[in-house]
Amino acid sequence: MKFFPILMSLICCVASVHAQPIIGNVLNRNITSLNGKWHIIVDPYDNGFYDYRMQENPWGFFQNQKPANKSDRVEYDFDKSEVLNVPGDWNSQKPELLLYEGSIWYKRSFDYDLKKGKRLLVWFGAVNYRADVYLNGSKLGTHEGGFTPFFFDITSLVRDKDNFLIVRVNNQRRVDGVPTINTDWWNFGGITRDVFLIEEDSLFVLNYHIYLNNHNPNQLQGWVQLNEQISGETIQLDIPELKLSVSGKTNEKGVFVFEKNVKNLIRWEPLQPKLYSVYFRYRRSVLKDDIGFRTVTTQGNRLLINEKPVFLKGICIHEEMPMRKARANGYDDAKILLGWARDLGCNFVRLAHYPHNEYMVRMADSMGLLVWSEIPVYWTIQFTNPQTYQLAEQMLAESIDRDRNRASIIIWSIGNETPVNDDRILFMKNLAHKVRQLDSTRLVSAAMEVHIDPADPYTYHVDDPLGEYLDVIACNEYVGWYDGLPDKTEKITWQTKYNKPFVFSELGAGALFGHHGDSLTRWTEEYQEYFFNQQIKMLKKIPFLTGLSPWILADFRSPRRQLPGIQDFWNRKGLISDQGQRKKAYYVLQNWYRSIK
């Protein structure tokens, strides 16, 4: 049975938090929302950022200049410009921005009465892709990566009246980015998640991790970290329902490390979630979170939740609301998407191909859905570029730090369909090592591809050398769609050299809702239905199969998908249409999932 080195995890987690600080549990802090209408300036030539020598312009749009007199020349005005909703992508809000890739400047004014001895932070849930952030004409910093949170301390810059927060958002795809230029989803630009002001005391609880010991499921372990490296500070943790209280002093890194035996704990289970109210007390402040406790381990090719084997009945999901043709965000969107998955019969969702918003994983906690969380190391990024690796590692750290207390997440995925070569192996191996430094209480995986020997074309091998560094072996397969017709599945035999849990992370076929024909006519619901019937017959014959997450829950937008009258910039592999209608294949998979006990 695979267990995890808990003590080393505590030491490494403590070190990593200081290396890449992320404030945890933002939704339960003292927050002021800056969501709403922001004034914007579309800047395709980056005229507000660079001067004509391509240097950052010290008199750029972030200065929010106004003419001093009637002769003064200022060639922009936020307050007379149009507005966009935040959170939200710009592509879905204005037709002329549907395919726009470039810079847009956002401005939001606010007042704030900050009392003496308090600290004020500005926090962004995500900005796609690069954000240059300014307050009152001063640059706070830059963040790269479109799916993870970041924040800045603005205590010394905020004033009582007339603050102006300005963000240059640039969503241009880059060959050295993560993801790189070529993907299969819509490049939604903008401030796509919440923006909050967070008020704290000068010293406060920055983040924490509390979990069941995989060696001893009757023992809680964890750590609580302050925002500064200060020793001797008393921190207390309470779980009233368990009549549990533990307190202690911070070490020289500002971290309180603890372990505590616990009795009568009800574990968080798939589809039977139990969440406890946990209180973190420091000086006069109290921070509350709702946390579930469970173990996740492996034993040969079995995946165990709370020491019991589980078959992952899953589905892939993009962070998109198809009916709105927009990025998903908020509890309402999460409830719809994950509700569809629950109705399908799922106990597991793969959140592809990037970290989804925090509402999704919190809703998964509440609904009892297991989660695969992924960073967008996708297809062929620059595996030899040290800056690209650092960016991938940063995204990994930001994702883990935000969601490390979510019981639903059992797998951290480090990528999707990356090519087999030595540079990629080193890149991915290092990421897997980084995951275990940051959080060794969960499993590591990646969606790999299949190897077919031309001399034996019907034996499919899952033998990617990356599997050596993973806890769960996963691969994407499309037999019957990209690989022959659906009846080819009857000839296929699957083999893997790894004695580890094995999951099909993708399989699927495209169909336009309402388009009908026989079972061999592409793009019809009947073809997709036949595809899933044939796939299920094949899957039932794989003795080492631990689960699957077919591609995908709902149709989603993609510029790669251009067939007129069928795709029209939509990937049609969804089991649910862009209008929320269930296709025939939905019921095929639902019936199978419901039959699996």
Encode pLDDT of 218-262 as tens digits. Answer: 999 999 999 999 999 999 999 999 999 999 999 999 999 999 999
- pLDDT recorded at residue 597: 85
The superfamily (CATH) of domain 6-20+202-293 is: Immunoglobulins (2.60.40.10)
Sequence ranges of the domains in the chain: 6-20+202-293, 36-86+88-192, 298-509+545-554+584-595
The CA dihedral of 64, 68, 72, 75, to the nearest 10 degrees, is 20
Can you give the pLDDT at residue 21?
74
Residue 459, pLDDT > 80, answer: yes
153's enclosing H/E stretch is strand 150-153
> How much is the pTM?
0.95
Q: What tokens were used for 264?
A: 């009568």
The answer to whether the peptide bond before residue 353 is cis (omega within 30 degrees of 0) is yes
Residue 20 has pLDDT above 50, yes or no: no
Q: Would you state the structure tokens that stand for residue 212, as one six-digit string? A: 């069941």
Q: Check pLDDT > 60 for residue 369.
A: yes
CB 88 within 8 A of CB 195: no
Is residue 450 very low, low, confident or very high in pLDDT (cuts 50, 70, 90)? very high
**β-strand 118-124 against 150-153: which pairing, if any?**
antiparallel
Given a cut of 90, whether residue 12 has pLDDT beyond it is no
Q: Rounded to an integer, what distance in angstroms lies between the CA atom of residue 398 and that of residue 375?
A: 10
Q: How many whole angstroms separate alpha carbon 234 and alpha carbon 257? A: 11
Residue 292: count of CB within 10 angstroms of its CB: 21
pLDDT of 11 over the 80 cut: no
Between CA 97 and CA 113 the distance in angstroms is 37
Q: Same CATH topology for 6-20+202-293 and 298-509+545-554+584-595?
A: no
pLDDT in tens, 125-138: 999 999 999 999 99
Other residues' Cβ atoms within 10 Å of the Cβ of residue 52: 7
- Place domain 298-509+545-554+584-595 in its CATH homologous superfamily: Glycosidases (3.20.20.80)
Beta bridge partners of 371: 349, 409
- Of the candidates 174, 143, 558, 178, the residue with the CA atom closest to the CA atom of residue 377: 178
How many residues are there in the chain?
597
pLDDT of residue 13: 42
Whether pLDDT at 1 is above 60: no
At 483, the amino acid letter reads D
Averaged confidence pLDDT in the chain: 95
CATH architecture of 36-86+88-192: Sandwich (2.60)
- Kindly report, residue by residue over 293-332, the tens digit of the pLDDT: 999 999 999 999 999 999 999 999 999 999 999 999 999 9
130's tokens: 């690069």
